Amino acid sequence: MSDMATENFANLAPSNAQKFRMRVLPFVLFAAVAVLIPLFGPSRSAYSLLNAIGINIVFALSYNMLLGRAGLLSFGHAVYFGLGGYAALHAMGMIENADGGFWGSVPVFAMPLVGFAGGALAGAVIGWPSCRRAGTAFAMISLGVAELIAAMGFMFGSIFGGEEGISGDRMNGPEVFGLSLGPIGEVYWFIAFWTVLAALLIFAFTRTPLGRMSEATRDNPQRVEFVGYDPTRVRYLVFIAAGGFAGLAGGMSAVNYEIFTPEALSLLPSGFVLIMTYVGGARYFAGPVLGAIVLTYMQSNLSDFTEAWLLYLGLLFITIVMYAPNGLAGIVAGLWNGTRATGMAYLKTWAARVVAIAIAMVGVIVLVEVAVRKSNGYGEVFEPFGLHLTPGSPLTWALVIVPLIVGLGLLRHLARDEQEAGA
Amino acid sequence: MNFTKSAALAAAISLCAGMAFSDTVKIGFIDPLSGPFGPTGDAGLKQFNFAADQINENGGMAGNTVEILPFDNKVNPKESLVQLQKAIDQGARFIVQGNGSSVASAIIDAVNKHNTRNPGDEVLFLNYAAVDPAFTNDRCSFWHFRFDSDADMKMEALTDWVTKNEDIKKVYLIGQDYSFGKAVAAAAERMLAEKAPDVEIVGNELHPLGKVKDFTPYIQKIISSDADAVITGNWGQDMVLLIKAAISSGSDVPYLTYYGGSLGAAVAMGEQAVGSVYQVSEVNTNLPTTDAQNALIDAYEAKYPNNNYYFHRIHMLMDMMDMAAEKSGSTDPKDIAMALEGMVVDGPYGTVTMRADNHQILQPLFVSVFSDNVQRDVENTSLGWASTDADRIEAEDTKTETTCKMERP
C-alpha cells in the first residue's frame, strides 16, 4: 500500500518532456512570434497597436500577480503603472538635460527599470497599510488610494504636470543594441524585448517559494499561518513585486508615448486592466496575455467602427463573468482538453455554440447600432450590407428579435443536451 | 497568431488605401467629439466639413479633393497623441486642432519629433483655437501656424474695455486650471497693472477643466467680492455652466469673456444677460460685410440649423491653406508652410496677415455685447452679438512683440 502511494506520488511530478512543453515551449514560441512579426513588414498603425499590446501584456500580467495568484482584488493598479511611468519620464528628462555625469550614461532603453523602481517604491509605501487585510477591505482601500493619487495628480504640477502632463524625448542618451528609438519600428524592438523579459520574470516569480506562498495565502491564509508564514508579509511582498512590474509597463509606456498625464493614474485604466485580466482568464498564466491582446485590439480598432464599443466591451465582460469565469484562456483550454478527451463530438457542440452566439450577436448589434444612431439625433441610419435599417422599420425589429430568439433558443437547447448527456 | 494576421492585413489595406486616394488632401481633425466638450468640437468639425465642401465644389485644393478625417481626443493630451498617430497612419499630412492648449502643446511636441524622425514625411499642424501665447513665442515651431489671436492679444482688447469704463474699479478673474487659464489670468494681471493701476483684482480663481457641474459657489464668491466686472477665458461647457450659474444667482456685473459665443451659452444666458455679457472674437455675424460672406453665413446656418456661424477662423484657415496650395502649386506640408508665411489676405472683415516671424495670425478683433437688437440671432433665441465701429480693433493693433526664434528646415 505504502509502496503504491510513493509510486503515485512520484508519478505526479512532471516529466522533463512535460516541463519543457508547459514551461519552456510557450516562452520560446512567444519570443519567436515577437521576432517574426517585423518580417511581415507591418504598417505604422500595426506597430502602434503592437506596442500598445506589449505594454498592456506586462501591465495585465503584473495585475494577475495580485488578482489570480494572491487573490487580491485591486481597483487601483494604474497608480503603480502611472507612478512608474512618471518616474521614467522624469528620468528621461534628466537624460535629456544631462551634461555627462550619471544620467548622461543611462540609456533610455533602461527606462522600464526606473519604472520598476518607481512602481515598487510606490507599492512599498501604499502596500504597507493596505496589505494588512485581504478581500473587501483591501479592494476598498485600493479604490480610495487610487482616487487620492489621481486627485493629487492635478494638484502637484511640478511632478505630474497638471492637465498637460509631462512630456519627454526618447532620442537622447547612449544607444543600446544600435537602436535610436526614433522610428516606431525601433520602438517595437524595445517593447518586444521588455515584454518577453517581463513575462519570463513574472512567470519565474510564480515558481519561487514566495510566489507559491502567495497562492497558498489566497486559498487559505489561516493554514499559511499555521505552517509558520505571515500572510500579511506574503501579501505585502507580492504587492511590491506587482507594483514594480506595473511600473515597468509604465516605463515602457513612457518611452512609447513620450507623455504621461494624470489620467493615467485614474480609475479608468485601473478598471481596464481588471477587465483585460478577467476577460483573458485570471486562473491561467497566459490569460492576461490573451486578454491584453484582444482588448487592446478592441480598444483601438472597434472604436473606429462603432461609437458603442464600450457597450460591447461591457457585454463581453458580463458574459465572461457569468458564463465563462475562466476567461478566454479557460475557453481555449476547455476546447483543447474537451477535444482530446471526447474527440469530434465535443468540437461539434462547441462549433454549434459559436454559431448560436453569432446569431444572437446579430440581434444585439442591430439593436445597439440602431439605438445609438437614434439617440445621436443626426438622422443617421444604420446601413449594413446595403440594408436601410431605420428605428421604425419592421425589418429592423425582425432583425433584432428573430436572431435573438433563435440564438438564445439554440444555446438553451445545447445546454440542455449537455446536461442530459452529463446525467 | 491573431495579431500577425491583422498586422499583415492592416499593411495590405493601408497600401491599397494609399494608392486609391493619392489625389486627396487629408486633414486630420483632432478634437473632443464626445464628453463635456463634445458639442464644441462637433461645432468645429461641422465648419471644417463645410469649408472643405466649398473648396471641393470650387475645383479643390490645387486640383485635389479635400477630406476631413475626424478623431476624438476627449481633450486628453495622451489620447490626442494616439489619435495623431492614427491620423498620420491614415495618410493625413495636415492636422487641425483647437480645443485645449494642453492638447495643442502635446501635438506641437509630437509633430516636431515626427518631422525630425521622418524626413520627407512631414506633418503640418494648423491650430484654429488653442491660444496659449507660448506657442508663438518661446515654443514656436516652423510646423505650427495659429489662426486665432492669442490670449494676450484678446486680453489687450478686454483690458482696454475695462480701462475705458471708469466705474469699474474691482475685477474678478476666473478660469480653467491649465496652461490656457493660467495664461489668461497672468495676462489680465499684467495688463491691468500697466494700463489701469487703480483697478483692483479682487479674485483670481482657477477651477478644474471640465469637471465643475455647478458654478454657484464660485458665483457666490464673485458676488461677495463686490467685483464690478468678471474676466473669464472659459470655453465649452465651463462657459455655459458658469454663465448659467451667474444668471440664476443674479450676478449682473459685466462678464468679459473669450468664448461667450460657445454653443449653448446663449440659451443659458437668455434675456437677462443682454447688455452684460461681452465677448472678444474675430467675428460676430452682425458685422457689416460683403454679400458673398452673408450668403456663406446663410448657407451654413441653413445646412446646420442647430449651429451658428461661429468659427470664422476655420474658414480663414481653409481659405489660406487653399491659397497657399495654389501659390506653391503643391500640397506638400513644407511647401504649404513656406507659402503661408507672410501671406496677406483680404478677408470679409478686413485684412488678415500670417506673420512670418512667429506664425501668428493678425486679424481684426471685435468686442461684441450680447444684445436683443440684432439682425442675426444665435441658437434661435432672437438674441445675438452686436458691436459698433468703436469696438473694432484693427489687425495691426493686435500685434505683440515675440520672443520666437524660428528655425526653418
Chain A CB within 8 Å of residue B85 CB:
yes
Which residues does residue B98 pair with via DSSP β-bridges, in sequence order?
Answer: none
Q: Is residue B359 within 8 Å of B336, Cβ to Cβ?
A: no
Q: Cα B294 to chain center, whole Å? A: 21
Q: For the packed helices A231-257 and A78-97, what is the interaxial angle rounded to 10 degrees? A: 50
**Chain-chain contact of A261 with B177 (C-beta, under 8 angstroms):** no
CA angle in degrees (0–180, nearest 5) for B378-B379-B381: 80
Residues in A closer than 8 angstroms to B81, CB to CB, are 257-259
Q: How far apart are CA A94 and CA B98, in angstroms?
A: 31
> The C-alpha cell of A327 is what?
476567461
Q: What is the pLDDT of residues B382-400, one digit of tens each?
A: 899 998 888 888 888 888 8
Backbone angles phi, psi at A83, to 5 degrees: -65, -40
Q: How far is CA A192 from CA A36, A256, B42, B318, in A?
A: 11, 12, 38, 42
The string of DSSP letters for A221-268 reads: HHHHHHTT--HHHHHHHHHHHHHHHHHHHHHHHHHHHSEE-GGGGSHH
Q: What is the pLDDT of residues A280-301, one digit of tens each?
A: 999 999 999 999 999 998 887 7
What domains, with CATH codes, occur in chain B? 2-148+292-363 (3.40.50.2300), 152-281+364-397 (3.40.50.2300)
Chain B CB within 8 Å of residue A298 CB:
no
Chain A nearest C-alpha distance from B361 (Å)? 24
pLDDT score recorded for residue A109: 92
Whether A1 shows a pLDDT value over 70: the answer reads: no
Q: How far apart are CA A410 and CA A76, in angstroms?
A: 40
Q: Is residue B199 within 8 Å of B170, Cβ to Cβ?
A: yes
Q: Is residue A404 within 8 Å of A360, Cβ to Cβ?
A: yes
List all residues of chain B from 88 to 147 with a beta carbon under 8 Å from chain A.
88-90, 100-102, 105-106, 109-110, 113, 117-118
Mean pLDDT, chain A, as a whole number? Answer: 87
pLDDT score recorded for residue A273: 95
Residues in A closer than 8 angstroms to B100, CB to CB, are 163
**Chain-chain contact of A297 with B3 (C-beta, under 8 angstroms):** yes
Q: What is the pLDDT of residues A216-248, one digit of tens each?
A: 999 999 999 999 999 999 999 999 999 999 999
Among A33, A37, A39, A43, most B C-beta atoms within 10 A, so best to mutate, is A43
Chain B nearest C-alpha distance from A413 (Å)? 31
Q: How far is CA A323 from CA A272, A315, A328, A336, B95, in A?
A: 20, 12, 11, 18, 45
pTM of the model: 0.82
DSSP run (H or E) holding B30? strand B24-31
pLDDT score recorded for residue A377: 64
Of residues A405 and A305, the one with the higher pLDDT is A405
- SS3 of A404, please? helix
User: Would you state the CATH architecture of domain A42-306?
Assistant: Orthogonal Bundle (1.10)
Q: How far is CA B104 from CA A205, B92, B99, in A?
A: 43, 17, 8
pLDDT score recorded for residue A65: 94
Chain A CB within 8 Å of residue B209 CB:
yes
Q: How far apart are CA B214 and CA B184, in angstroms?
A: 22
**Chain-chain contact of B78 with A44 (C-beta, under 8 angstroms):** no
Burial of B323 (0-12, 13-18, 19+ CB in 10 A): middle
**Chain-chain contact of B81 with A257 (C-beta, under 8 angstroms):** yes
User: Domain locations in chain A?
Assistant: 42-306, 343-422
Residues in A closer than 8 angstroms to B34, CB to CB, are 307
Chain B CB within 8 Å of residue A335 CB:
no
Which residues does residue B154 pair with via DSSP β-bridges, in sequence order?
Answer: none
Whether complex ipTM tops 0.95: no
Of residues A15 and A320, the one with the higher pLDDT is A320
Q: How far apart are CA A212 and CA A190, in angstroms?
A: 31
Choose among B97, B138, B60: nearest CA to B325. Answer: B60
Residues in B closer than 8 angstroms to A162, CB to CB, are 102, 177-179
Q: Is residue A85 within 8 Å of A264, Cβ to Cβ?
A: yes
Chain B CB within 8 Å of residue A33 CB:
yes
Of residues A51 and A158, the one with the higher pLDDT is A51
The string of DSSP letters for A255-308 reads: HHHSEE-GGGGSHHHHHHHHHHHHHH-TTSSSHHHHHHHHHHHIIIIIHHH-TT
Helical residues (DSSP H) of B196-224, grouped into ranges: 216-224
